[in-house]
Amino acid sequence: IPTGAAGLEAYTWYLRGMAAWDEGKPQRCREAIAHLKRAAALAPHFALPQSGLAQAYQWMGLWGWARPREMEAQSRAAVQEALRMDGQSAETQAAWATHLVRFEWDWKNAEGAANRALELNPSCGLAYSMKANCALFQLRLDDALRYFEQAVQLDPLSYRTNGAVGIAYWSQRR
């Protein structure tokens, strides 16, 4: 987290952006992008807003709220910038895992990035969620459910994660 008043303000806008993104609604996702861009402008060397932007662009493309190809390019640019700034950030590694899951369907490398995120921060709920997605897409349903449940334990208020647990239970007909 950057120091000083601008750093604190940037971190506050980052948190607002991530909270808006997590709601999973088109307008809130657009607001998230605006908040995250503001955070990035306030602290240009702060990787977390770039990671957050990658997540928001991915969500916009995933749900068809914007053109997926455009969102893929914007997601890739944001996550690559975040990795350049701080490749040792769990959030950045989780954002890379998410990009690989949502746009490239590269389960092996996505799971590797999620594992790197968890090595850096064992409490990174998004990394568990991405491991769960990788397992789900490979029909490793028990693993998927276990990882989603870990993600919910780490972030119990997340709309996205709680919805994903429902999908995991549904896929097991439970």
CA dihedral of residues 105, 111, 117, 123 (deg, nearest 10): 110
Give pLDDT tens digits for 65-106.
999 999 999 999 999 999 999 999 999 999 999 999 999 999
* The token pair that represents 16 in the structure block: 């607002």
The residue among 29 and 160 whose pLDDT is bigger is 29
Residues in the chain, overall count: 174
* The token pair that represents 171 in the structure block: 């896929």
Average pLDDT over residues 138-148: 92
The residue among 162 and 147 whose pLDDT is bigger is 147
In percent, the amount of the chain with pLDDT more than 90 equals: 81
Give pLDDT tens digits for 101-123.
999 999 999 999 999 999 999 99
pLDDT at residue 163 in the model: 85
Burial 70-84 (b: 16+ CB within 10 A, else e): ebbebbbebbebbbe
Residue 165 has pLDDT above 90, yes or no: no
Mean pLDDT estimate for the chain: 94
